[in-house]
Structure 1
């Protein structure tokens, strides 16, 4: 499963790497709303939550569905600006229908509210459907959707003021601290694109991002638990935005009417590389078999030969070998040769990471 961005025929100069203050504020607001997604940020979340004025905290709570479980596309600029004000000015130039569709995707949990369907601002059926979906998400979401549908300019102004208040409350200091690293990362990726090509540039973003050039097409493929496609060629390019607050998310904007954007976490020393969804599934399936689970229990305690495992569990040696081959293919075994014997031991570090790898893959 993946998000695929078709870039067939797209000149590489249309691929942009740049930091974005609005996208980073979006990532910070998500971390504040869902701190369990970001255990490494617990200290920052705690101190920032304490420092935010109560009145602003209340307004952020009222609108947090714009960034809590999914993100409003207008909060991830396709053409990043130098300042938050510059990017908010660009948001102000978006027409009401596109703005409302983006906001209602997060409020209503429905990707069907976009330019391919009738506008809820003008179509009574779409309007009623938007209100129905938002009501199912709770009274705050329903109230927000009602206000947005009734008076888009007023809600847009309210959201802008709230984001501007975040600037003085906490964002300006955090942005000043992380901007040099984000700018350096963007320059590094852009330099890789020029010197070594797109495959190396997207590979440096994350092992979860690859370039597929099969079948006469060219696609950027993002390893996510989704099945979505979009076109960077038709939209005039693709934008890549580094984030210091985004891990573990790879945020892909791919809705109709928007230039594709990928906001990716910058690499951090000491953190393991992301594991693919395929490998996570392979490891879960390998350990789901009752015999392999028993073998894993034994070799978790120390190295064993095939013969020892067969005797311990009253299995044939070929049967044990077949199960060990599955565990090895899933990257869960450490092997060591001692003379004419091969010893097998469970890779405890890979096994211990399985839970966090699973969650990271779900949240990616």
Structure 2
């Protein structure tokens, strides 16, 4: 599974690495709502929460479906403006871009995860289609009365909700985000400059590889592939391609591929992991390999010491070919190391890889 971006004919000047204060504020709200996704930021989360005004905290819950379970495209409004806008240098500039979205764009993006709209193809606008409106209210009802009230307000009077959201975000900036942004913006600007230079001198493939090992370019096919547990596709238009760094976002790698919007990658810049993250297919292969009862028993021995195929066959009462087949599955999944000693081949479980599997799986599903 993956998200694919058709970049056929995309010129280098149509590609921009640029930070966004509004996107980082949206990620800050997500971290505060779902601290379990970001254990490395526990200190920051605790500090902000401790001094947060109770009234602002309550308002934060009013529309938290925009940032709790996922990341709303409303925090990346530049992608929705025809002609190739880029994020603003300040939060005020980014909020002005948010104001430039039409009511239809604003409501569709705000209720994306409420009404289950098809994301990457043309669908009826929720403000003009009674069936989609009804679906939005039905799904909102399953999320609780607070979301129902917000959805009803949004459908009945979009301008008032837009004003509410702008005021809320400005209050968040005053309460905690301005200080955070003053510390983070230099890191994000430096990362954007480095990747822009890499793009100019080494090309798009190298620049994307520096974003994440799970982002690849097939130059012959004119296609970017982002390895994620979702299926999606989009095409670069006259707007080009935006890449927005985030300091708070790891492990999330968000791909905006909404129909009619400019494609955008919102990628984390925090320190890379010691090893490249496994692909979704590799994760599936490893979990399948470990789920078999025979291979689980083999792993009990292989985790403690190195064994030959014959030794494992004798211990488990199986034939050598049977053991070899199971070892082959584990090796193909990247879970074994092997070494030759004379005429003997010794196999051992790579406990480092297995130990990472839990966090790899979590990063994979949050990516």
Q: 2:105 aligns with which of 98, 103, 112?
A: 98
1:177-198 C-alpha deviation (Å, 9 max, x unpaired): 1111111111111111111111
Confirm or deny that 1:149 pairs with 2:155.
Answer: yes
Q: Cα offset for 1:114? A: 8.7
- Over the residues paired in the alignment, what is the CA RMSD in angstroms? 1.6
Q: Cα offset for 1:203? A: 0.8
Mapping 1:16-31, distance limit 5 Å: 16-31=16-31
Q: 2:296 aligns with which of 267, 283, 293?
A: 293
> Using the alignment, how far apart are the partners of 2:175 and 2:319 within structure 1?
67
TM-score, reference length from structure 2:
0.94
Conserved? CA contact 2:255–2:266, under 8 Å: yes
Conserved? CA contact 1:104–1:113, under 8 Å: no
Conserved? CA contact 1:101–1:113, under 8 Å: no
2:13 alignment partner in structure 1: 13
Q: Cα offset for 1:115? A: 8.2
1:188-211 C-alpha deviation (Å, 9 max, x unpaired): 111111111111110111111000
1:224 alignment partner in structure 2: 228
TM-score, reference length from structure 1:
0.95
Conserved? CA contact 1:101–1:114, under 8 Å: no
Conserved? CA contact 1:24–1:243, under 8 Å: yes
Mapping 1:229-240, distance limit 5 Å: 229-232=233-236, 234-240=237-243
Q: Cα offset for 1:113? A: 7.6
Question: How many aligned positions are there?
Answer: 360
> Using the alignment, how far apart are the partners of 2:31 and 2:274 within structure 1?
18
1:72 alignment partner in structure 2: 72
Q: Cα offset for 1:308? A: 0.8
SS at match of 1:353: helix
2:308 alignment partner in structure 1: 305
**Residues 113 and 148 of structure 1, relative CA distance in 2, 3 Å threshold:** farther
1:254 alignment partner in structure 2: 257
> Using the alignment, how far apart are the partners of 1:71 and 1:290 within structure 2?
39
Conserved? CA contact 2:120–2:232, under 8 Å: no
> Using the alignment, how far apart are the partners of 1:8 and 1:356 within structure 2?
35
> Using the alignment, how far apart are the partners of 2:121 and 2:205 within structure 1?
32
